[in-house]
Structure 1
Amino acid sequence: MLITGYQFRSNEYRKGPIEFMMGTCSGFSSKDFDIPHMLSNSNIKCPLKKGVHYYVYKLFPNATNMPPLIPEGRWKLQIDFLYLNQYTAFSIEWYSGVEYMNIFG
């Protein structure tokens, strides 16, 4: 998987500071980014098998389990699932926002 973050700046989504690759199954089994909670309503299990219909239902993260200091604002997270680390099999675009509470106000 190739994960790329785009931050909304100057009225368009521009590539931001988030970009990395990881194996699909290692990404699905990761404890980071609240992935276990997000995939709790799914049938995704590794190894992925041909001919199986996979689903994810009610996917949403718990913000307390996200990495700190992500810049505030609107974001697009693009997840490209690659075949042989070269060819895009399919992509997911996830739009979200980061907003911090002002505890001193």
Structure 2
Amino acid sequence: MALNKLVVVKVSILLFLVGITVQVNAAVSELIETNEYKSGNGKACCDLCACTRSIPPQCRCLDTKDSCHSACKSCRCTRSYPPTCQCMDIDDFCYKPCIQQMI
């Protein structure tokens, strides 16, 4: 009887710790995937933009950089160092190429 209670307590503690780990992992992932790595330079640009042929078009920037442009609402970054980030926004236009803005 006492052995069963001990097993129940150990399983309960294990499940509690797993739950905390999942919540912390989800919070960290959300922080990394949102605007944590946005650049503050204010220049939205995109060198590789893909659009559908629909009207209006649905366009998405496929550039991967070390940060997302400042106009990006949904930025996803890898957990690597340095991170590689990609803007996940879908717009009805493409931003100007970044190469033109450097000149």
> TM class, shorter-chain normalised?
under 0.3
Please state which structure has a larger fraction of its residues in helix: 2
Please identify the structure whose Cα radius of gyration is greater: 2
